[in-house]
Amino acid sequence: MSRNDGAPNWLRRMPTGYHIAQKIIARAAGRDAVMPGEIVTCSVDLALLLDSGGPRRIWPRLIELGVGVWDPDKIVVVTDHFTPAVDAESAAILKLTRDFVREFAIPRFFDMQGIGHVVLAENGLVQPGMFACGGDSHSSNGGAFGCYMAGFGAIEMTGVVVTGEIWLQVPRAVRVNWSGAFGAGVAAKDVMLLLCRELGIDNAHHVIEFGGDTVAAMSMNERTTLTNMAAELGAETGIVEPDETTLAAIRAAGQEPAADALRWRSDADADYAAVHAFDAAALAPQVAAPHSPANSGPVDSFADVPVDQAYIGACVGAKLSDLRMAAAVLRGRRVAAGTRLMVAPASQRVIREATADGTLQTLVDAGAYLLPTGCGACAALGAGILAEDEVCISSTNRNFRGRMGANSASVYLGSPYTVAASAVAGRIADPREMLSQEPGSDPA
């Protein structure tokens, strides 16, 4: 077939009818083809370790086993959960992480540079066709670049670090197609909150494949929102087929994509467990109520819920595009009295770029408090955590009980548009009302 002209032998021999994740897993397993349900062992192209569950969990096991790391060049270490240190315990965790990097001469170490999933993308370290593992559930973020990247626990990541391999059960795929253009004040975060409700949060042993002309038109930042929150769907990972937008983002990050990067696509007759279709033009801003991302509905369903705190942060909700969404609502407006708006940019690069284009100034002028880059309050670490009985609306990816602080706190989820509008109103509010009025404007 013409699609296989010039392809590697393993791909030329692979029959049609396979989705992209199967193809990537087959390549990593050294197989011509793999089928859902099979258990295979895969070679790992990249392993992401974070300060939270990385060296501090893995290094003691390496010492006990008397082994080292399989390939320092394929390991990326990022400090993000405990940065900056707020007490002696977090400082000790960061020191241990730095000592680990020195001990094993790991060259790709990003210390206090941002949240790991965002840092990988910013540096072009995830590419189409890769099989990658991360020690955090939101490692699925990398799937936006057309790679298979999933999150694993510390025991599994210990095996990866020592052997460069991991076993997995080949997942089935669910295809989710979106068509049409978003209205004002609607973003990829709204897509995922709706999908958490419609598809549920128990999609184990499945990979969610996002497609359609809506997804094709998205920026890479918005695509990572989709794949990042595949974790909230309970899926193994999420993935978007690579295209010219993908390649341009990799080049902008200073890397060159592989010559065959665009070969990593699903076959037209791929076997899906289910195929879903949605209309982007019909999507309203969504909000998820405590204590699950699946408790979602149109923003109007939550009108007039008062909020103590509005939080824009995390790997899914504080990228440059996210801060610009918030700025579009906040420009010329002020945060309501009695409500605090906390902003924790996702990386140092985001801070630089948002400073250069005036986005941060807009947020500060509106009354936002800027917090250090890192996971922070999203994981109840550092500044911005919630007190008993407080109510927060957040651009983060999950709102489980106690996730952002006190167990009695209530966390609602929304897009940066919705979070910013709610900060101005002092209650959960529809961003479309503010975007349709001066002085703000929708950057889309």
Among 238, 253, 283, where does a domain finish?
283
175 with 50, same domain? yes
Kindly state whether residue 9 falls inside one of the protein's structural domains.
Answer: no
Angstrom distance (rounded) from CA 124 to CA 246? 10
256 with 372, same domain? no
Nearest residue to 311 via CA among 196, 185, 405 = 405
328 with 244, same domain? no
Asked if 291 and 401 touch (Cβ cutoff 8 Å), the reply is yes
Kindly state whether residue 10 falls inside one of the protein's structural domains.
Answer: no
How many alpha carbons lie under 13 Å from residue 311 in its C-beta half-sphere? 36
Angstrom distance (rounded) from CA 213 to CA 211? 7
57 with 171, same domain? yes
pLDDT value, residue 439:
54
Kindly state whether residue 90 falls inside one of the protein's structural domains.
Answer: yes
Among 248, 283, 318, where does a domain finish?
283
* Assigned token pair, 22: 């199967």
Among 235, 257, 283, where does a domain finish?
283
Residues sharing a CB contact under 8 Å with residue 12, sequence separation 6 or more, in sequence order = 4
Kindly state whether residue 444 falls inside one of the protein's structural domains.
Answer: no
Considering the entire predicted model, what is its pTM?
A: 0.94
Kindly state whether residue 61 falls inside one of the protein's structural domains.
Answer: yes
332 with 247, same domain? no
Element of type H or E holding 286:
strand 286-288
DSSP structural state of residue 322:
H
pLDDT value, residue 192:
98
Kindly state whether residue 15 falls inside one of the protein's structural domains.
Answer: no
Amino acid at 267: D
53 with 38, same domain? yes
Kindly state whether residue 13 falls inside one of the protein's structural domains.
Answer: no
Crossing angle of helices 188-199 and 220-228, rounded to 10°: 20
Per-residue confidence of the chain (444 residues) as pLDDT tens digits?
A: 334 445 555 444 445 699 999 999 999 999 999 999 999 999 999 999 999 999 999 999 999 999 999 999 999 999 999 999 999 999 999 999 999 999 999 999 999 999 999 999 999 999 999 999 999 999 999 999 999 999 999 999 999 999 999 999 999 999 999 999 999 999 999 999 999 999 999 999 999 999 999 999 999 999 999 999 999 999 999 999 999 999 999 999 999 999 999 999 999 999 999 999 999 999 999 999 999 999 999 999 999 899 999 999 999 999 999 999 999 999 999 999 999 999 999 999 999 999 999 999 999 999 999 999 999 999 989 889 999 999 999 999 999 999 999 999 999 999 999 999 999 999 999 999 999 876 544 444
Q: How would you classify the pairing of strands 46-50 and 131-134?
A: parallel
Q: How would you classify the pairing of strands 309-312 and 340-343?
A: parallel
199 with 233, same domain? yes
Angstrom distance (rounded) from CA 336 to CA 307? 10
pLDDT value, residue 185:
98
CATH of the domain at 135: 3.30.499.10
Residues sharing a CB contact under 8 Å with residue 174, sequence separation 6 or more, in sequence order = 199, 203, 206, 207, 208, 209, 235, 272, 273, 274, 275, 276
Q: How would you classify the pairing of strands 309-312 and 391-394?
A: parallel
pLDDT value, residue 21:
98
Kindly state whether residue 259 falls inside one of the protein's structural domains.
Answer: yes
356 with 278, same domain? no
pLDDT value, residue 154:
96
Asked if 394 and 318 touch (Cβ cutoff 8 Å), the reply is no
Query: What is the number of structural domains in the chain?
Result: 2
301 with 272, same domain? no
Asked if 88 and 96 touch (Cβ cutoff 8 Å), the reply is no
25 with 153, same domain? yes
Asked if 325 and 285 touch (Cβ cutoff 8 Å), the reply is no
pLDDT value, residue 438:
60
- Would you give the distance in Å from CA 98 to the centre of its chain? 24
Is the dihedral angle over the CA atoms 97, 94, 370, 299 positive or is it negative?
Answer: positive
239 with 329, same domain? no
Q: Which domain holds residue 342?
A: 288-435
pLDDT value, residue 295:
97
182 with 300, same domain? no
Collapsed DSSP state (helix, strand, coil) of residue 183: coil
